[in-house]
Every structure is written in C-alpha cells, then in structure tokens.
Structure 1
Amino acid sequence: MDANAADDDASWPDTDPAAGSALPDGPPWRAAGGIPGPARGKSLNPPNKRHFLAGVKRGRIREANSVVLRGYEEAVGDDVALIAAGHARFNAWTHRYEINGRSYGVEENGTVFPDAGVGIVNMNRNEYAALAALARAGGASDQVPEFTRDPRFRDNPQAIATAQAVYDGTYK
C-alpha cells in the first residue's frame, strides 16, 4: 500500500468531536480491530506523564523528548480516544497516527506518545533536562544552580531559553 494513500482518501470520518461524534469511554480505550497499524486491537492509554508539564519534574530524560504545551492536554486525550475509534489516519511511512494536526506513535504496551504537531514541542536531552529543573524550581531560573554550573546548560543557553518558553507558555 502506498504510504500516502490514507492522506489522499477523502472518505475519512470527521475527526472533530464537537461535530457530533461522541468520544468512547476511557482510558484505556479499546482500539478497533479493523484499524491499521500498531494500535489495532490494543487497549490504548494516554501519553505518560513525562510528556506533560505537570509530569516533567520527575520525567525520564531521553535523547529525544516530546512535551505537550499547556492548554493542549485535553485535546491530546481526545486524540487518543479518536485513534482508538478509528478516526485517525495511519501513515505507514512514519508508523504514526495523524489527527487534528498532531501525530502519535503507539508503544508495544498500548501507551500512545505525542510525536509532533500543534501543541507538541520536540526537545533534545538538554532542553528537557532544563525544563525538568525549571519545573522543580517553580519556573524560577535563578533558583536552578545547575544553569550556571553544569556545562550542559552553561554552554548551551538556548536550551534554557527553550525550556523557559515552554514552561512559561510563550513557546512559538
């Protein structure tokens, strides 16, 4: 199958819950057996807390990290329900589900993770570590001694600036 075939299919159902389609109960949301990709037949769970600002304080720092901006938390939860209901497009090329301007992957255990798109910020290891430190300090960068001592931050002020913008809600 052509990886872009789903994108060309005009018969996809409406993905806007406000348009009258009710979201299924959950979490977890049982994915329909007929949907393509790794979600098929699994119980889908929302993203791990490390992907939300409220869970960043203790989140595991990986090489690549994605964080949901404030104000998009509910939309991301709704997207997971819509993926389970079969309303998302599966991109076979990227192995991601695309819905409402965002893309998501699904782990083997059924946990959905945000990958990219509206309201999702991709952060490298240093940016995410800076965000975690800011979160533990309540957003006060002057209360994070590592920012002036640790070379990962001292030599990389852009990581701190990105983290501060995400924390403050001013990231563009």
Structure 2
Amino acid sequence: MYEIFDDLARLLHRLPERPQSVKSARFDREDVEARRENERRAFEKAYPPPIHSEPLLDKLRELSAKKREIDTQIELLVTYSRHFLRPRPYQLVRIAEATGLSISGVRTMSNRKRTREEVARNLERSDIRGSVSPVTKPGLEESLAVLERFAPRANQDIEETRPA
C-alpha cells in the first residue's frame, strides 16, 4: 500500500517539464521532493496499518469536490462580471480568455437563472438590467406581525388541549 502513497505523491507533485536553468532545475527538484515527502507523510498518517479504505479513491473524491467548488466559484464570478458589474460588464472575449472558455461557453454560463439569482442574493442587489432581484427577507416588524396574528390562535389551541 505504501507504494501507492509514493505514486500518488509523485503524480500530485510533478516535476516541471523543462526547467529554465540548471540552478532552477535543482531548486524545483528539491521543492517538489519536499512536497512529495509531505504528501507521503500525510497519507501514512491518514491511513495507518491496517488500511481498510482506498487512498486513491479518497483522493479522487477530495479533488473532485474541490474541482466542483472551483467550478461553482468560476460560474459565480463569470455571472457577476457579465450581469452585475457596474458601470458596465466585461466583454465576453476577455472573460473567455481569462477562463479558457469559448465565448458561447461564457454566454451560456453567465445566463443560468439559478446562478444569477444566487449572485443577486449574495450581493443583495439586482443585476444591471433589473431582471433578477435578490429575494428579500421579511423584516423584524413583518415577522412580529405574523407571529402576533397567529399567536392568539396557537395559545387558544394550547388552552383547549390542556387537561382540566
């Protein structure tokens, strides 16, 4: 199993393909070896013998969860840059270059209603066109009014169910 730890560490912390100089190659190798050793130790600590789980599958799950979170953050920022940034949004071509997406990919990503609503909710403001507004939460006064409206009935129900 420890061979897997070494293999995983080597794949997760790769040497650069082409070092810029002999000096940087030595530095890069030392840095990568140190990161690999830290990764190996982390695996050994997380999976002491006897090992009953799969470190490779666990690492894939962990990285997939991180990737999903990063993809969500990219989607939120792309949507923000197209629909919420004031005074005017970024051009599609600039966002496409920054994200590695096509222009149509940026357009599709930024036009998802669910994402626009989430951005509006978190920014607590409407988009530039006013087509998506944040969901407003009732104020304290409104909440108290609702409670008072239903409280007498709730109190009455409690009184009726009490034994005499």
Higher strand share: 1
TM-score range, shorter chain: under 0.3
Structure 1 length normalisation: TM-score?
A: 0.24
Computing the radius of gyration from Cα coordinates, the structure with the larger value is 2
Q: Which has the higher contact order (CA 8 A, sep 6+)?
A: 1
Higher helix share: 2
